[in-house]
Amino acid sequence: MQINTILVTGGCGFIASHFLRMLLRETTYEVINLDALTYAGNPENCADFATNPRYRFVKDSITNAKVVNELVSEVDGVINFAAESHVDNSIKNPGVFVETNVLGTQILLDAARKNGIKRFLQVSTDEVYGDTSIDSAEKFTEHSELKPSSPYSASKAAADMLCLAAFRTFDQPVCISRCSNNYGTHQLPEKLMPLTITRALKSEKIPVYGDGKNIRDWIHVADHCDALLKILEKGKAGEIYNVGADNEVSNLTIVKTLLKLVGKSEDLIEFVADRPGHDKRYAIDSTKIQTQLGWQPTHTDFTKELEETVNFYRK
């Protein structure tokens, strides 16, 4: 399977901007970035490669079937990052999550089928598996039951089902990745780490949901991008690949560690009413991608990577 040109959706967001930078640095692909520039899209995330001759930006929505079809007709591969991605927003306004995450994915799949796309990679999340109890030793495998808790994770699970249906019914060459929580530079300060760092830098209170004991499995964004490239190039059609770095940390520990790195007191922590339906613990088993595609996380010095992340927001 030879891919030369790739449509990357949501490229002005956190993870996809890292992915685009990596593609332009490490491969010879031509790339088109389709991004609607919602509140979460930041063109500054792409500023350092915006003039690369192998890169083109189109401002539009993945729900615009006409534009999607035109762009998909120019490429061999599609990787769909575009999404409404914040759980809190999905609790306030679920409708737009269905529109972008579910309908948008189907519009991309339809265009991919019409245009004989060689590889379609759906960037999904470990949140589709729901949660486990804090003291459980269970890790989610690709065969774990789908039990999404929030409208966000339910919309991502629905999109996954549409992708699997496209493979089964139309033989479309679709792969799905399900990654754990990402951290790194260029993330919007609505998410836990950048929120904590940016507030700490301004000596503002840091809200922590409930008792802060909820556990997330943290992976550096560069390791996620590396896994996505492996799946894009070597993944088997119809397969799901979990991606995680075996790095389970409670939210409260994250906040305390970041406060220490910023040099601020833990007195800034303010416990607030828990998020409705708040997932307790995520833990991901990524044996499959490690053994079948030869992927390994390499950014595993968590303290060092957190220091670099803090330094980015300082600047």
CB 261 within 8 A of CB 314: no
Alpha helices of the chain — where are they, by DSSP H? 14-26, 65-72, 87-92, 95-97, 104-114, 151-170, 192-201, 221-234, 251-262, 287-293, 302-314
Q: What is the smallest separation between the CB atom of 100 and ligand NAD, expressed in angstroms?
A: 4
Contact 61, 69 (CB under 8 A): no
Enumerate binding residues for ligand NAD (CB under 6 A).
Answer: 9-10, 12-16, 34-38, 40-41, 61-63, 81-85, 100, 104, 123, 125, 156, 179, 181-182, 188
**Coil, helix or strand at residue 74:** coil
The residue (of 13 and 151) whose beta carbon lies closer to ligand NAD is 13
User: Residue 220 CB, nearest distance to ligand NAD (Å)?
Assistant: 11
What is the Cα–Cα distance from 24 to 53, expressed in whole angstroms?
10
Least Cβ distance, residue 170 to ligand NAD (angstroms): 22
Residue nearest to ligand NAD (CB): 13
Query: In 3D, which of 67, 56, 63 has the Cα closest to residue 31?
Result: 56
The C-alpha atoms of residue 235 and residue 131 are separated, in whole angstroms, by 26
Nearer Cβ to ligand NAD, position 43 or 268?
A: 43
Q: What tokens appear for 98 in the block?
A: 């269905």
Q: Residue type at 140?
A: F
User: Based on CB atoms, which residue is closest to ligand NAD, 36 or 264?
Assistant: 36
- Residues with catalytic function: 126-127, 152
Q: How far is the CB of 2 from ligand NAD (least distance, A)?
A: 26
Q: Which is nearer to ligand NAD, 82 or 158 (CB)?
A: 82
CA distances from 142 to 59, 121, 148, 281, 298 (A): 34, 16, 14, 17, 22
